[in-house]
Chains A and B, each alone.
Chain A
Amino acid sequence: MTSLLKPRLKPTRVLPGFGLTLGFTLFYLALIVLIPLSAVFLKTFTMTWEAFWSAVTSARVMASYRLTFGASLIGALLNVVFGGIVAWVLVRYRFPGKRFIDALVDLPFALPTAVAGITLTALYSSNGWIGEYLEKAGIKVAFTPLGVVVALTFIGLPFVVRTVQPVLEDAERELEEAAASLGATPWQTFWRVILPNLLPALLTGFALAFARATGEYGSVIFIAGNMPMVSEITPLFIITKLEQYDYAGATAIAVVMLIASFLLLLTINLLQAWTRKRAGKA
Chain B
Amino acid sequence: MSAVIDLPVKPVPRAKSAPANTLEPRWIKYVLVTIALLFLTLFLFIPLVAVFTEALKKGWDVYVEAIVDPDAISAIKLTLIAAVISVPLNLLFGVAASWAIAKFSFRGKSILLTLIDLPFSVSPVISGLIYVLMFGAQGWFGPWLQDHNIKILFAVPGIVLATVFITFPFVARELIPLMQAQGSEEEEAALVLGASGWQMFRRVTLPNIKWGLLYGVILCNARAMGEFGAVSVVSGHIRGETNTMPLQVEILYNEYNFTAAFAIASLLALLALVTLAIKSFIEWRLHQSGETSADEAALMPVPHELPHPARST
Contacts and interface: CB of A to CB of B under 8 A. Distances in A.
Interface of A: 3-4, 6-8, 10, 13-18, 20-22, 24-26, 28-29, 32-37, 39-40, 43, 82, 85-86, 88-90, 92-95, 99, 101, 103-116, 118-120, 122-123, 129-130, 153-155, 157-159, 162-163, 165-166, 173-174, 176-177, 180, 186, 189, 204, 208, 211-212, 214-218, 222, 235-236, 238-239, 242, 245, 247, 250-251, 254, 257-258, 261-262, 264-265, 268-269, 272, 276, 279
Given A111-B313, A163-B305, A265-B117, A4 B33 contact: no
Given A111-B226, A153-B43, A261-B121, A14 B276 contact: no
B20 interface: yes
A279 B306 CA distance: 13
Contact of B276 (A29, A104, A261): A104
B246 A208 contact: no
Contacts of A40: 126, 129-130, 133
Nearest to B96: A21
A215 B309 contact: yes
Main DSSP-derived SS at the B contact region: helix
Contacts of A7: 102-105, 183-184
B64 interface: no
B222 interface: yes
Contacts of B139: 39
B184 A15 contact: yes
Given A3-B294, A7-B183, A112 B272 contact: yes
Contact of A37 (B92, B112, B130, B310): B130
A238 B39 CA distance: 33
B213 to A, nearest CB: 15
Interface in B280-309: 280, 294, 300-301, 304-309
A10 B106 CA distance: 11
A262 to B, nearest CB: 7
Given A4-B180, A39-B140, A218 B228 contact: yes
Contacts of B161: 32
Interface string B105-149: 110000010111111011111100111111010111000000000
Nearest to A18: B104
A215 B122 contact: yes
B63 to A, nearest CB: 15
Given A4-B181, A186-B25, A114 B228 contact: yes
Contacts of B130: 36-37, 39-40
Nearest to A279: B301
A122 B4 CA distance: 51
A211 B123 CA distance: 9
Main DSSP-derived SS at the A contact region: helix
Given A103-B276, A122-B50, A115 B305 contact: no
B194 interface: no
Contacts of A92: 20
A187 B239 CA distance: 59
Interface string B242-255: 00011101100100
A120 B250 CA distance: 14
Contact of A86 (B25, B39, B97): B39
B84 interface: no
B132 A247 contact: yes
Interface string B37-70: 1011011111110110010000000000000000
Contacts of B304: 162
B197 interface: yes
Nearest to A275: B306
B217 interface: no
A36 B310 CA distance: 19
B107 to A, nearest CB: 11
